[in-house]
Amino acid sequence: MTKSLEIPDCYYPKESVLVCPKNTTPRHTLYLSNLDDQKFLRFTIKYLHLYKKSVCAEDLKDSLSKVLVEYYPLAGRLKPSEEHEEKFELDCNGEGVYFAEAHADLTVDEFLQASSKPNRSWRKLLFRLDSQTFLDVPPLVIQVTYLSCGGMILCTAINHCFCDGIGSSQFLHAWSQLTCKPNAELLVTPFHGRHLLRPRVPPQISFSHPEFHCHEPSFDLTQFILSQPVVPVSVTFTPSQILSLKKLCVPSLKCTSFEVLASHVWRSWVKALDLAPFLTVKLLFSINVRKKMRPKLPIGYYGNGFVLGCAETSVDRLVVPNLQYGVKLVQQAKDCVTNDYVRSMVDFLEERKVKPDLSSSLVISQWSKQGLEDLDFGEGRPLHMGPLASEIYCLFLPVVGDIHAFTVLMSVPQSLANKFQHFLENFDERKMKEDDGFIRHLLHSLSCSESAIPTVCQIHVAVTFIFCGQKQPISFVTEEVPIVTGKNLSSVWKSYLGCTPKMAGGWCFSRAEIEHNSPSRRDGIDLKKESELRQSYCSLIQDLGMRLGAPQLTIATAMVFCHRFYIYQSHAKNDWRTISTACLFHAAKVEDTPISVNKVVAAAYEMIYRKDPDAPQRIRQKDVFDKQKALVLIGERMLLSNIGFDFNIQHPYRPLVRALNKFGITEKDVRQVAWNYVNDWLKTTLCLQYKPHYIAAGSLFIAAKIHNVKLPSGKDYVWWNEFDVAPKQLNAVVQEMTELLGYKRKGMQTCTSEKPAEISSAKKKDDSSSPESCVLSRPVSLSRNSSNGSDGQLEMINQNHPSSCNPADEQACLAAEVKTEVQPRVPDGSESVADGEASGKGMNNANSEPDQVVNEPRNLDMDKILAMRKKRKTERENEKRALAMKGIDEDDWIEKELERGIVFSAQSVVKKQRLADAFVKAAVSQ
């Protein structure tokens, strides 16, 4: 096992200080609920964040003093309750929190090389107070350690009696927000009261609460583990490995990633301990009850709002190859937690002597869904996030850069560490033994003949073993079987797919690769036809997903899968209807929103043949259904083979939402237009050309221009820095977006002085040989500007600023372009192909002339435009009220759309085009 990094001693140039709230705060005693004041929660949660660039300590202290005005209980102290000597309460006296500044001879790269496993030396990164009792420890202790390379490590220790993981994340995000924007209002207002979880009088205990009842095992596992030296074990599970774990549930079971991973870790832990088969073991895990209470706990409640779910069984029933039994136990434990169950537990905890049964239990705490990996104090998100120390309870940590992956971290006895890690990583030993002979034969054949073209099944098996969590291609070093090198594998891919996949370089392709070198082009399908097919399969995925109730995130993932598939495969040889159906079916599994294959097959068949009135009855025939189901499953296998089992798909939604919140943009029009643009780009090849945060930046830029919203800038900060995108890259992506929307920017001038350049309103004639159109009404290829002149060139950002042009001037250059003249284009009436045939009024035939571009601007009726905008505003207000009735906070509606998967109302193609024209014209007229 690899060794962890030993941290050198820290140097403290200053004494630690007490940071108090900046303004006067209320002085009173705050009641702690029974969920807050459990004895096993009397410890501190210690977070560690590593940043590439540092933030000034004075800025951190200043913003900390401001956020403590809102979170003033954290500046108080715990004290014994006057009513019950064993119970604690909070004295909100404004005494302050400890803040220490240190320096260490350490670099970011050195820490990252061995950051997966904490060790005891890491405790040097948190200031140690001389405290005699738990009550003497301040609720919040912070140390910022500046590294020799210019980076920093931020360590925070928060008393668990004050808040849980969600509450601590809420506070840390509020602190980071005020560090970036000192005068901004907090996105979430904290709710301090804990009286909502008071016990009933008299207590009403109506459940058994097995998490607190202790069996009498032959020995205490916790004592056994603590009696030995323990070492941390860290294993990262990729999305493909989690999917493989789900396939171990036989028969198939709808489950989340947490449920299957918790079951797998529990089983591996029990197998490593080698317990007697008849012993009873438990799995305890935290369950958020904020939305389970009736009424629900208020938004902003940052106290402990979780209870322990408990799954228990005997050892012999748990350690079986099939994971279904363990997953069902976890699901049943989650289903038991209702409002009545929580109320019963609060009453049960009124008896101060009760404590969780840890004698034969594994405790799991999930940190991966709290957003801790996104904590940004103004210099970018962290490169590493994790605990300061590893404990004997298990943590599910987020993986920076991959929202679908998990890192399992847990300390176990040193004598069992290798065994435990082996069971975690090799979870399907039976399958490995069964396939061992076949894999040896396959590797032997691949190494002997580079020209042989393997079958789909062979490619599927080879890719499974290579990409499912392995750091390098598997090779068997024996006398009979030669080693398979990367060259052999690359040649096999090339002979089978026609090109080598960009597994190392990501999924970003140039425009020329997409338009001129695609497999479809080699099979005689021109650019226009391929664009029509692309629109067709995206439309089918969107409609099918909405019919099946799939979240928008799942639909977006399916579209990206389909785009990636047709980068390596031709439309001439692979029916887009089958592949798009398979993509949606597989995306639902990847995004933890699985849909039954039977439902997918039936719904897809009815939609594809919707013009046939007999289709709903025909798909119910067994032979027809079995044939369609087999096609979808074969399509899924083809998809997996072509994408190389790469399920790490990130969308622009999260960067967009994060930026909107950070910039404080509350205009609903801007937020929804930017969101809708992100959805529209899914039907284009932008996801194959640019990174998700580039697309998010471009969408926000265009939405802000349409609504005349100024994006933030300062002396040393410009808004696009939030998206980690350079001006040149932003220029490129926005230019393509505006071309796809069907507009040409005219009269553009660059900013060469401190004042914004005046934008010329002179009109230039369009080149009719360069047709452009709206992305939703014409194929994407037709919206490209093919002329070589500069007439269609979009210079969004001056890339040759003089030496006197600072970031603020760059923002002025962008702001000056709001009034740039925009010429709308008339759509040609093309519609997507359905059922393999051209349909829809106005579809061009082979002999028709291309639509002519209208050069004259259309007369706009401003009264109609204002009426339209008023109507849309009314519709949005009605939608907001409807969401509020469902318990969705109006200030976080976009986040709820992303988290809950609520799909925006579908709009027609014509309506979207008219709205875009109206918004742009309204902006120009203003």
pLDDT tens digits for 295-307? 999 999 999 999 9
Q: Kindly state the average pLDDT of the residues 629-647.
A: 85
Residue 580: closest CA among 501, 639, 645, 502:
639
Tell whether the model's pLDDT for residue 751 goes beyond 50.
no
Q: Answer yes or no: are the C-beta atoms of 94 and 20 closer than 8 Å.
A: yes
Task: Give residue 144's pLDDT.
Answer: 96
Tell whether the model's pLDDT for residue 54 goes beyond 60.
yes
* Global pTM exceeds 0.85: no
Q: Kindly state the average pLDDT of the residues 492-497.
A: 39
Amino acid at 221: L
Q: Answer yes or no: are the C-beta atoms of 364 and 265 closer than 8 Å.
A: yes
Alpha-helical (H) ranges within 664-774 are 668-681, 686-689, 692-706, 727-741
Task: Give residue 113's pLDDT.
Answer: 82
Tokens 């005699």, residue? Answer: 132
C-alpha separations of 312 from 281, 395, 529, 657 in Å: 6, 19, 58, 40
Q: How confident is the model at residue 311 (pLDDT cuts 50, 70, 90)?
A: very high
Q: What does the alpha-carbon distance between residue 26 and residue 303 come to, in Å, rounded to a whole number?
A: 18
Six-digit token pair at 646?
């790469």
Is the pLDDT higher at 505 or at 334? 334
Q: What does the alpha-carbon distance between residue 822 and residue 820 come to, in Å, rounded to a whole number?
A: 6
Q: Which of 56-60, 220-224, 252-256, 393-397 has the lowest mean pLDDT?
A: 220-224
Is the pLDDT higher at 919 or at 106? 106
Span 654-709, pLDDT tens digits: 888 888 888 888 777 888 888 888 888 888 888 888 888 889 998 888 888 888 88
Tokens 């002149």, residue? Answer: 789
Give residue 109's Cα distance to chain centre.
25
Q: How confident is the model at residue 615 (pLDDT cuts 50, 70, 90)?
A: confident
CA dihedral 725, 729, 735, 738 (to 10 degrees): -20
Question: Residue 837 class from Cβ within 10 Å (0-12 exposed, 13-18 middle, 19+ buried)?
Answer: exposed
Amino acid at 600: V
Tell whether the model's pLDDT for residue 798 goes beyond 50.
no
Is the pLDDT higher at 151 or at 477? 151
Task: Give residue 397's pLDDT.
Answer: 93
Task: Give residue 617's pLDDT.
Answer: 87
Verify whether residue 376 is a known catalytic residue: yes
> Residue 138: enclosing H or E segment and its boundaries?
none
Q: Answer yes or no: are the C-beta atoms of 591 and 548 closer than 8 Å.
A: no
Catalytic residue among 37, 164, 376, 592: 376
Verify whether residue 835 is a known catalytic residue: no
> Following DSSP, what letter does each residue of 369-426 receive, concatenated?
TS-GGG--SSS---SEEEESS--SSEEEEEETTEEEEEEEEEEEEGGGHHHHHHHHH-
Catalytic residue among 36, 37, 160, 347: 160
Q: Kindly state the average pLDDT of the residues 546-560.
A: 90
Q: How confident is the model at residue 404 (pLDDT cuts 50, 70, 90)?
A: confident
Task: Give residue 253's pLDDT.
Answer: 81
152-159 vs 44-51, strand pairing mode: antiparallel
CA quadruple 313, 319, 322, 323: dihedral sign: positive
Q: Which of 607-616, 803-812, 838-847 has the lowest mean pLDDT?
A: 838-847
> How high is the mean pLDDT of the chain?
75
What angle, 0 to 180 degrees and rounded to 10, lies between the N-to-C axes of helices 668-681 and 909-925? 130
Q: Answer yes or no: are the C-beta atoms of 38 and 162 closer than 8 Å.
A: no
